[in-house]
Chain A
Amino acid sequence: MSLPTAIETLDFSYDGARPAGRFAPVLVGVVGSGNLEVLLEPGEPPKCRVRVETSARGFGTIWQAVLDDFQARHALAGVSISINDMGATPAVVSLRLDQAVAELAPGAQP
């Protein structure tokens, strides 16, 4: 049963080019109003998978555009990105994603 107040789950998958290698999970951000947390974990190359769980429903098109641009910037391969979002604007989402990537091992930095 889909409750009108439920969390929206969005899944995205990309083929990356830059292997992220093995790394300890990275967490940035906090799930507060207008904010989000981003968890980066090793995944199956060459995929970069993103799962978004958000309370701000109906913005799938914007998430797609933001993540397309993120992948264009970093082209990571072999990562799994998990997001808990409480209505962050695209600007904050992009910032957190870039902050998370910055904490990866130097080899995976853009």
Chain B
Amino acid sequence: MTAKTWNSRADNRAARLARVARALGPQLNGKLAAPAAITALLEAAIEPHDRVCLEGNNQKQADFLAQALVQLDATRVHGLHMVQSVLALPEHLDLFENGIASKLDFSFSGPQGARLAKLVSAGRIEIGAIHTYLELFARYFVDLTPNVALIAAHAADAQGNLYTGPNTEDTPAIVEATAFSGGIVIVQVNELVGEGTSLPRVDVPAGWVNFVVQAPRPNFIEPLFTRDPAQISEIQVLMAMMAIKGIYAEYGVQRLNHGIGFDTAAIELLLPTYAEQLGLKGKICKHWALNPHPALIPAIEAGWVQSIHSFGSELGMEDYIRARSDVFFTGPDGSLRSNRAFCQAAGHYACDLFIGSTLQIDLDGNSSTATLGRIAGFGGAPNMGADARGRRHASPAWLRAGREARAGRSGAAGTPRGQKLVVQMVETFREHMQPAFVERLDAWQLAEQAGMQLPPIMIYGDDVTHILTEEGIANLLLCRSDEEREQAIRGVAGYTAVGLGRDKRIVENLRDRGVIRRAQDLGIDPRDATRNLLAARSMRDLVRASGGLYQPPRRFRNW
């Protein structure tokens, strides 16, 4: 009879570390490995069928490690189960074509969505599940714990302490789960600071890190949250006015998250102008869970914003953030510290409103960005765009939304509680006259094609509280039946087939009750919705508003 061993993970880690030391010999100096030895390092540290987290964040990518991983000998390293936030680089999918990886759990695929769909239908990838960011991080601590984490940091010191800086993003969640479960943490850095020199600050302590390698090029980072004000249309200005007057002012929204897009950029740029005219400064928009959007600069400068916590950073904003440390979360060194896991939690529990755009909405208010031929995933939106049922603390906006939803209801459905405002903001027609309102989401067809158990719905209809289009705002909190809800949606669906199919009598009744409010009902004249209302109308205006501190990436310059 053999005694049970309880420290097999520790033994296994020790064995891997020993293998690496033998394989690298003099190419390993403490924790520092020579870049030329990266292949040998990975082949010694990783075992077949490992769960590997390769840092594919929303913005930063451990691209040097990804490129090395793709080159490994598939007879030595194969059957890997990749767990990562984002499939951003071609290498992330090359792993599956090369026979190195076979299973995938992830959150968002963005640029790789079409290729992912092809690989799935060709049977080259087994998808475990598609998650939201916070959900995936949560599973790192339960049933998707990485054996090996391949991460990116900005700098390391001689001991192996890491500085992850403004683009800290997912790293803390990944490293904590891996380091404290017997896993191996391997990091690529842009810089090594020498003996006796300090890092600006320590984001990850050396004790959690096993190997450091300096990459030949700085790790790839994408500016995803920059929106050129020159591209904001009059219709988007109109919708932004309705959002501010019809929802933010109505409910007194002080704490919020904006989904990415031109629609929300328009709201940000109307705060110092339109919202100021309405006397709303100090009454709305003080606290944000938000990446450092350049479009928010004018509002920050005008004194609207008390705090911003960020998921990641944004290229070009570094100096501005440094100079506005009262507003952003910055370290004693002055640079931003972002943290996707905590910001997702903040967006979920500490915000009273989420507002974002979408591609399709059905008659139940379910909204989806799924399109045929692409498996895009969810990212973080469902965490912000969902009622936080674990929340207990009250705020005026939360209480009012909760009352509107529960008035006249009894039993469990009528028990008093608050509700988060979840607003879907969308023009009734998208590009090429594609309707945003449909009877059946493409998500159903995608689920059939890709063998998913559920249609990939980004925001569920019973979490959506308001739908805002150029035709008006539908307040779903006030609807008391599926039929009312359907007509409320049709009543703001404009001239789409869904909109034209409305029962005019019921829609008029809903309007009388305030369930549907048109721009005129809010006292807004659509002809006032011009681009002149925007606090900044070009990238250059944003630079000027920042006093020259904001330095847009090249692709956004036009001077």
Contacts and interface: CB of A to CB of B under 8 A. Distances in A.
A82 interface: no
Interface of chain A: mostly helix, strand, loop or mixed: helix
A34 B235 CA distance: 12
Nearest to A92: B235
A95 B519 CA distance: 12
Contact of B500 (A65, A95, A102): A65
B433 A87 contact: yes
A89 B500 contact: no
Contacts of B495: 62, 65-66, 90
Interface string B410-434: 0000000000000000011101110
A1 interface: no
Contacts of B526: 94-95, 98
Nearest to A63: B495
A86 B235 CA distance: 17
A90 B527 contact: no
A89 B527 contact: no
Contact of B427 (A59, A61, A87, A91): A91
A95 B429 contact: no
Interface string B427-456: 111011100000000000000000000000
Nearest to B494: A90
Contact of B235 (A59, A61, A91): A91
A56 interface: yes
A99 B528 CA distance: 10
A65 to B, nearest CB: 5
Contacts of A98: 526-527
B234 A89 contact: no
Given A62-B495, A91-B494, A99-B527, A56 B433 contact: yes
B428 A91 contact: yes
A102 B428 contact: no
A90 B429 CA distance: 8
Contacts of A102: 527
A74 to B, nearest CB: 13
B527 A59 contact: no
Contacts of B500: 61-62, 65
B63 interface: no
* Chain A CB within 10 A, most for which of B429, B500, B529: B429
Contacts of A91: 235, 427-429, 470-471, 494
Given A62-B495, A87-B433, A90-B494, A95 B234 contact: yes
Report the interface size class on chain B: 10 to 19
Nearest to B500: A65
Contacts, number: 39
Which of A59, A62, A89 has the most chain B CB atoms inside 10 A of its CB? A89
Interface residues of A, number: 17
Q: Which of B428, B432, B494, B500 has the most CB of A within 10 A?
A: B494
Nearest to A91: B470
Contacts of B471: 91
A83 to B, nearest CB: 16
A32 to B, nearest CB: 11
Contacts of B427: 89, 91
Interface string B216-254: 000000000000000000110000000000000000000
B426 to A, nearest CB: 11
B470 A59 contact: no
A90 B428 contact: yes
Contacts of A94: 526
A92 B431 CA distance: 13
Nearest to A65: B495
A87 B429 CA distance: 11
Contacts of B428: 89-91
Nearest to A33: B431
Contacts of A65: 495, 500
Contacts of B494: 90-91
Interface in A70-110: 87, 89-92, 94-95, 98-99, 102
Interface in B462-515: 470-471, 494-495, 500
Interface centre among A62, A87, A99 (most CB of B within 10 A): A62
A75 B500 CA distance: 21
A44 to B, nearest CB: 28
B266 to A, nearest CB: 14
A44 B431 CA distance: 37
Nearest to B239: A91
Contacts of A89: 235, 427-429, 433
Nearest to A99: B527
B234 to A, nearest CB: 7
Q: B432, B471, B494, B495 — which one has the most chain A CB atoms within 10 A of its CB?
A: B495
Nearest to A35: B233
Interface in A24-62: 34, 56, 59, 61-62
A102 B432 CA distance: 29
A65 B500 CA distance: 8
Contacts of B234: 92, 95
Nearest to A56: B433
A94 B429 CA distance: 13
A59 B432 CA distance: 12
Nearest to A98: B527
A31 to B, nearest CB: 16
A99 B431 CA distance: 23
Interface in B512-542: 526-527, 529
A99 B428 CA distance: 20
B160 to A, nearest CB: 54
A94 B525 CA distance: 13
6 contacts: A61-B500, A62-B495, A65-B500, A87-B432, A94-B526, A95-B234
Given A61-B500, A89-B427, A91-B427, 20 more contacts: A34-B431, A56-B433, A62-B495, A62-B500, A87-B432, A89-B429, A89-B433, A90-B428, A90-B429, A90-B494, A91-B235, A91-B429, A91-B470, A92-B234, A94-B526, A95-B234, A95-B235, A95-B526, A95-B527, A98-B527
Closest 3 CB pairs of A and B: A91-B470, A90-B495, A89-B429
